[in-house]
Structure 1
Amino acid sequence: MNPASRLAQISFTAGPAALLAGWFLLRPIHGEAEPGPWWTAGHLAWLAGFAMFGLMIFAMRGLAGPVRGGRRAAVEAATVVALLGVAANLAQLAIALHAGFTASDGEQMRALLSQARAYPGIELVVYTPGAQLFFFAVLAMAAVLALLRRVTTVSAGVTAAGVVLLGVATLQEGAGTALAAVGMAVMWLGTLLLGRGPSGDGLPATTPTRA
């Protein structure tokens, strides 16, 4: 396997793993906005995770193969939306890290974060719903790949379950809850299975498929 393919394979596990690692790194401060090593380490883990998610999206696009017509349009649309979501999350994490490095205490840090969100368009593009686009697109991409039989329905279903659990936990209780961690773990399992393709042998070589 060449290095690019190996990195693509790793991205299916490294992205969700880094997401879960960031959650654990924030436990000492209970996920609260508090400058210091835990805030920095947790958000650096998430930054690395979303960088790997970007690679994962390109790998998922490659899994679709040379399909045409409506299927190609669905794959390309999901890819674009997912990458926009990745960019939004990376921007959000960069803001959080800047605030953590700049602020001297939690109160000042929360003020800096609120100030950043107050800029026109930032709340919409960088936070919700911009950041959530990634998860919706992953759901769509997994469904399309399952319909194309590039991945198993089990892997697509487990990924979807993890994304839904994470979304419900974040919207109802916040990303720092135990349910959010469960969602991340289930998503991790799902994307690990996605990366193994329909045969369990890793990213498969695709063959031409008619629309």
Structure 2
Amino acid sequence: MTTSSHDSPSGTFTRIAFHLAPALMFAYGLVRLIDGRDGHHGPGTAWTVGHLLFLGALVLYGPVVLGLRRRVPAGGTARRLTANIVTGVALIGLAAFIRVAIIDIVVGLQAADPAEKSRLGGQYADVPAVLPQVFYEIGPMFFMLGLIALLVQLAVVGPRSLAGSLSPVLVVLGFVTIFVNLDLLSAGATLIWLALAHLARTPASVAAPRPTPAQPTTA
């Protein structure tokens, strides 16, 4: 008996990531509310704990993105190319987002007060200085756009369902909610979880087996 990717250890981890990534975002949103009770966000324990939760969420979104790619049904060259491009865009944006979280943690640990945190944040704005600073500013957007694009592709070429059709809409609403007010981060994370939860139960797609040539028959 063979084990499908859905039942393999990597498949199990991916299914967990579909739930845990938004859950850690949700927790970060709660810690951020606690951190802001004095009118400032960081530095301090709450800042560090919150950003560690956020970093964990971002790391887990890597398996989520790859899991979504594996759920795109096998198809022609255009479908595969589109899925690969948007997956690459999402992963590049995710790397930029992870950099932001790491720098926020480092700055929070070094700063003694909000003013120093702001000053140190400016010093780290172009670290590592190997890419134009504009990339560091807009890079995280690539993750959001790539994730939405993957969900749109799944809604179009994947199994037809109401949950699948609503997934990209819910993710867009989740990101918009977060952009409108960071204090609503937990609400946005909940919308993203609702978009991903049903996909955790969807097995990865596999290419259809090639037909075997008919064997000649003997009289």
Mapped pair 1:47 → 2:55 = yes
Q: Match of 2:8, as an amino acid?
A: N
* Offset at residue 156 of structure 1 (A): 4.3
Map residues 50-129 of structure 1 onto 2, 5 A cutoff: 50-117=58-125, 121=131, 123-127=133-137, 129=138
Match of 2:149 among 140, 147, 158: 140
The answer on whether the counterparts of 1:166 and 1:184 sit within 8 Å (CA) in structure 2 is yes
Q: Match of 2:121, as an amino acid?
A: L
Match of 2:41 among 20, 33, 37: 33
SS at match of 1:168: helix
* Structure 1 stretches of 4+ moved >3 Å: 118-123, 150-153, 169-173, 204-207
Deviates more, 1:161-170 or 1:82-91: 161-170
1:4-29 Cα deviation digits (max 9, x unpaired): 11001111111111111111111112
Q: Match of 2:191, as an amino acid?
A: V
Q: Match of 1:189, as an amino acid?
A: L
* Offset at residue 123 of structure 1 (A): 4.4
Counterparts in 2 of 1:33 and 1:114: CA distance versus 1, 3 Å: farther
1:41-80 Cα deviation digits (max 9, x unpaired): 1111111101110011111111114322111111001100
TM-score by length of 1: 0.84
Mapped pair 1:181 → 2:189 = no
For structure 2, list consecutive stretches of 5 or more residues without a partner in the other structure.
1-6, 210-219
Counterparts in 2 of 1:151 and 1:16: CA distance versus 1, 3 Å: farther
1:155: which partner in 2? 164
Q: Match of 1:195, as an amino acid?
A: A
Q: How many angstroms apart in 2 are the aligned matches of 1:91 and 1:206?
A: 33
Match of 1:16 among 22, 41, 50: 22
Deviates more, 1:137-146 or 1:180-189: 180-189
The answer on whether the counterparts of 2:42 and 2:114 sit within 8 Å (CA) in structure 1 is yes
SS at match of 1:30: helix
TM-score by length of 2: 0.82
Counterparts in 2 of 1:122 and 1:40: CA distance versus 1, 3 Å: farther
Q: How many angstroms apart in 1 are the aligned matches of 2:97 and 2:188?
A: 18
Counterparts in 2 of 1:206 and 1:81: CA distance versus 1, 3 Å: same
The answer on whether the counterparts of 2:67 and 2:204 sit within 8 Å (CA) in structure 1 is no
1:149-194 Cα deviation digits (max 9, x unpaired): 247342342x323332333334444x2x22x432221111111112
Q: How many angstroms apart in 1 are the aligned matches of 2:71 and 2:15?
A: 11
1:3: which partner in 2? 9
Deviates more, 1:109-118 or 1:12-21: 109-118
The answer on whether the counterparts of 1:162 and 1:184 sit within 8 Å (CA) in structure 2 is no
* Offset at residue 37 of structure 1 (A): 1.1
Match of 2:201 among 182, 196, 199: 196
The answer on whether the counterparts of 1:161 and 1:186 sit within 8 Å (CA) in structure 2 is no
Q: Match of 1:8, as an amino acid?
A: T
